[in-house]
Amino acid sequence: MRAEWEVENWSVRPEGMFDLAGRVALVTGAASGIGRAIALGLDAHGAHIALADRDPDGARAVAAKLHHESLLVEVNVTQEVEVQATVDKVLAKFGQIDISFNIPGINVRKPAVELTVAEWRSVVEVNLNAAFICAREVGKVMLQQRRGSMINIASARGLTGGTGQSVYSVTKAGMIQMTRCLALEWAPHVRVNAIAPGYLKTPLVREIMKDTAWFERIRNLHAMKRFGEPEEVVGAAIFLASDASTFVTGAVLSVDGGWTAGQG
């Protein structure tokens, strides 16, 4: 007699929940930092990767480390026609897009009264407008396929705010709200989630880490008393991309070493 708690028919077998073999992932911002780490992680779980970045040499260096079939696409994600062409190239190569990561982001750290309109617009253009363009174009494909997992890379700053972070926090908070809206619009077949990293040692963060006083102050605000490495996002990325998260959509997963836990 089967016990009440036993699972007779798994929808996804536990041993295969993280298997991405045969799936196609489009990773924008794949040439460095979080994007590079995620691309390598997806490849380790069997996925084919479309590496999209405005830095073709960096993307080529990542492709050289992959074990499965890949595609390199040079793209400026702020340009609608280039994003549309990127999606067309991925479909021409692989015929499908099962997973996508929207990663590119920039920051201008200034007090709000010193921030120029041009600076504000430049950050909004990359962090929010480009993210929407990428999500919309890939979403069209996933909706037609009636399957897909989209992951937007937001930020803990989109959850907490911060001094000198007005435009960055606004854009990342906007990405989180976009994630929730798209999750509702595109359910049940397409899942849309976000990852909100804390301070990771990406090229963007390593530059400001040179200010040792700032670094020590921010480091001590983390429960784990350290900054993270880009590869520490990979576990969350694989979880959201794979069948391990088939009942997860509209969620924001913080990977921040306890940063947001202490910001209440």
Q: Count of alpha carbons within 13 Å of 206, Cβ hemisphere only?
A: 8
Q: How far is CA 96 from CA 79, 141, 145, 188, 251, in A?
A: 22, 8, 8, 18, 24
Q: Which of 18, 101, 168, 199 is catalytic?
A: 168
Catalytic-residue membership of 168: yes
Sign of CA dihedral 109, 112, 115, 119: positive
Let me know: does 234 contact 36? Beta carbons within 8 Å. Answer: no
Choose among 250, 232, 57, 72: nearest CA to 149: 250
Q: Which two structure tokens, joined as six digits, stand for 110?
A: 């200034």
The strand pairing partners of 252, in sequence order, are 194
Let me know: does 63 contact 69? Beta carbons within 8 Å. Answer: no
The residue with tokens 């906007």 is: 174
Catalytic residues: 168
